[in-house]
Amino acid sequence: MAKQKILVPYDFSPLDRMALDFLVQTFGQREEVEVTLFHVYAPLPQVNTTTGNVTSRLKTGMNFLSRELTRKEEELKNIVKYLAENGFEEDAVKVVFRPRGKDVADEILETIYKGFFNIVILTQRKDRVTRFFVRNIQSRVLAGLRGATACLVT
């Protein structure tokens, strides 16, 4: 059987935990499975904070955002351990955590095609406001997806 390559876009929402549970239940004990957890974030701007009162306040905000990114990266490492404890080989679970260069949907599609992924696991938000904004990403990924299976966790 050919290796199944699974991409899991992860944005640290409660539904993403459901996607991980689905992943473990469906693919956890199978051999020849490779999982990639995928998160892109808005890059932090480079600001000269050495002069001025306003820029020193910016530095505080930038430090907070930097710590938040570090926390998220650590959480992804913990998820790798969780998946390893639940049937996946630790070296078969990879993490893509990088600043985004373009739209999130385009980043996901590009990763699917460049990495030759067979399956992508997406989540759908339950509340209307969030779904209004996120649906655009989800719809664009589903519309642009060719040659791969999409699993939608609700």
Averaged pLDDT, groups of 10, the chain, 154 residues long = 88 90 92 94 75 70 88 95 92 94 92 95 72 70 92 88
- State residue 31's pLDDT score: 86
Q: What is the CA radius of gyration of the chain?
A: 17
Q: Is 30 helix (H, G, I), strand (E, B) or coil?
A: coil
- State residue 18's pLDDT score: 92
- State residue 149's pLDDT score: 93
d(C-alpha 54, C-alpha 98), whole Å: 28
- State residue 126's pLDDT score: 64
**Taking the domains of the chain in order of start, what are their residue ranges?**
4-41+76-153
d(C-alpha 17, C-alpha 79), whole Å: 10
Angle at alpha carbon of residue 111, lines to 150 and 137, rounded to 5°: 55
d(C-alpha 1, C-alpha 38), whole Å: 25
Superfamily designation of domain 4-41+76-153:
HUPs (3.40.50.620)
- State residue 47's pLDDT score: 67
- State residue 2's pLDDT score: 72
- State residue 45's pLDDT score: 76
